[in-house]
Structure 1
Amino acid sequence: MTKTTRQTVRINGVRTVLTTRNGKVTTRPADPKEWELQAAQVQALRALPEYGRLFLLAGDQNSAKRGPRAQVEATAAGMTPGEADMRIYLTGARIRMFENKVGNGKLSPAQVSRHAALAKIGHTVEVVRATTKAEAASKAVALVRGWLADNDNENNSTKAA
């Protein structure tokens, strides 16, 4: 019988997955944590020349580990399970949102429910999938630049009418 075990450890400060199978140990870099992807996105988005003029951002970490008391306090204060990770505020009173997932990570039941509820009132939540911080930042920049172009087109058509 083949027994396989996996654990994530730090080797020289780097998160690494150790896999043991039939007595043989292999290593590979661990996927980044979702918050690390989000932090890379925030840094890249804030560096754009449009930041502060054409858009602002706000991030959430609703799935952060909390004790029972902290969870009650967060919920009472309005934290909503399943809320999107990032909100992008565009000129013209428009808001766009995206959710980060590492690789093929699945949406939680709370995220599926919340995203469906937001869609019912006209707010789509895009899912950004990435396996590196650079990929996450690049995808977020491309998404926001696309939204800015769409927003600019909508504003120009409104002015022409």
Structure 2
Amino acid sequence: MTKTTTQTTRIAGKRVRIVTRVTATGTSVKVTDAAPKEWELQAAQVRALRAMPEYGKQFLLAGDQNSAKRGPRAQMEATAAGMTPGEADLRIYLAGGQLRMIENKVGKGRLSPAQIDRHAALARLGHPVEVVRADACAGAAVRAVELVRGWLAEASNKPLDKFVECT
């Protein structure tokens, strides 16, 4: 019979994952880097996006952390103030009144039922949410920059809806 336990902790300030396996022939312990937390992916994306030369000129961003753990009173206050379960992690405001959104998941992390419902509702209104899956902060940041660069290119190729005549 094999028994395996997994624990995430800090060793010398670094988050690590400890896997202990006990078998009839002995015990093995394996220590590996722990996956980043979702907020760490988001923070890396925000740093990378704010460093882009287009930031503040062609796009702005706003972050959310609706899934933060709150006590009953804080949860009631957040809900009353409009915090909505399932809202995307990052909103990207593009020139021309366009809104794009990014949801982050670490590795194979699943969307919550609230996220599935909210993302579907947003998509029905014409605001699809891109899900970025990453195992490292650098990968999440690179993917966010790629998405924004693509959105900016897409926006610059769209024809104007209204023409203004010069007199």
Q: With structure 2 as the length reference, what TM-score do the two structures score?
A: 0.93
Contiguous gaps of at least 5 residues in structure 2: none
SS in 2 for 1:158: coil
Higher helix share: 1
Q: Provide Cα deviations, 1:118-139, integer angstroms capped at 9, x if missing partner.
A: 1111110000011111000000
Question: Percent same amino acid at aligned positions?
Answer: 69
Give structure 1 stretches of 5+ with no counterpart. none
* Deviation sequence 1:97-140 (CA, Å, 0-9, x none): 01000011100000000001111111100000111110000000
Is 1:78 the counterpart of 2:82? The answer is: yes
User: 2:145: which partner in 1?
Assistant: 141
CA distance in 1 between counterparts of 2:152 and 2:96 reads 11
**Residue type at the aligned position of 1:12:** A
Paired with 2:65 and 2:136, the residues of 1 have a C-alpha distance of: 19
Which residue is equivalent to 1:6? 6
Aligned equivalents of 1:124, 1:64: Cα separation in 2: 23
After TM superposition, where is structure 1 displaced by more than 4 Å over at least 4 residues in a row? none
- Tell me how far apart the structure 2 counterparts of residues 132 and 26 of structure 1 sit (CA, whole Å): 20
Aligned residues: 159
1:54 aligns with 2:58: yes
Q: Within 2, Cα distance between the matches of 1:128 and 1:11? A: 28
Aligned residue type for 2:5: T
Larger Rg: 2
* Structure 2 counterpart of 1:114, from 93, 115, 118: 118
Secondary structure in structure 1 of the residue aligned to 2:82: coil
- C-alpha distance in 2 between matches for 1:129 and 1:89: 21
Deviations 1:2-55 (A, max 9, x none): 110000010111100001101211111000000000000000000000000000
Q: Which amino acid in the other structure matches residue 3 of structure 1? A: K
Any idea what the Cα deviations from partners look like across 1:48-87, whole Å, max 9, x if unmatched?
A: 0000000000000010111111000000000000000000
**What amino acid is the match of 1:106?**
R
Which residue identity lines up with residue 158 of structure 1 in the other structure?
Answer: L
